[in-house]
């Protein structure tokens, strides 16, 4: 399969979103960024992605709401949640809403996230 993997980064911290997009690009993946959940869903309604990197705490629409909305869409990309919320309940909630993996931003190097994306 030579098709380029597509990744949607839904993250309101622009420096982090930019760094992730650059790292993914260096690995030959196509990355698109959205700065809030609603924008991310609007993009997902019109384009197909293999992986969504999703922040939980964002303006307009948070990551929990995005996960709930994703369940209603026809495409079901793998969703990796990136958050600074380290509560076990938050992790269990996002996994129950269909997220594939949960990463705590402060504990996870970007290279680890990129490697996980490449495995999908």
What are the chain's domains?
Answer: 6-119 (3.40.50.2300)
pLDDT in tens, 57-95: 999 999 999 999 999 988 889 999 999 988 999 999 999
Q: Tokens at residue 102, please?
A: 């949960």
- Cα angle, residue 99 at apex, residues 109 and 14 outer, rounded to 5°: 45
- pTM above threshold 0.85: yes
Per DSSP bridges, beta strands 30-34 and 78-83 are unpaired
Q: Tokens at residue 88, please?
A: 């076990």
pLDDT score, position 66: 97
pLDDT in tens, 11-29: 999 999 999 999 999 999 9
- Closest to 41 in 3D by CA, of 29, 24, 54, 23: 54
* HSE-CB for 19 with a 13 A CA cutoff: 10
């Amino acid at each position: 399969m030579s098709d380029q993997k597509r990744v949607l980064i839904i993250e309101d911290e622009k420096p982090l979103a930019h760094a992730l997009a650059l790292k993914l690009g260096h690995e030959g993946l196509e990355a698109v960024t959205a700065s809030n959940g609603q924008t991310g869903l609007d993009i997902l309604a019109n384009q197909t992605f293999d992986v969504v990197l999703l922040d939980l705490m964002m303006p307009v629409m948070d990551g929990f709401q995005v996960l709930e909305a994703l369940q209603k869409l026809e495409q079901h990309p793998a969703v990796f949640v990136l958050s600074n919320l380290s509560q076990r309940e938050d992790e269990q909630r996002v996994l129950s809403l269909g997220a594939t993996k949960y990463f705590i931003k402060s504990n996870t190097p970007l290279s680890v996230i990129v490697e996980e994306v490449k495995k999908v």
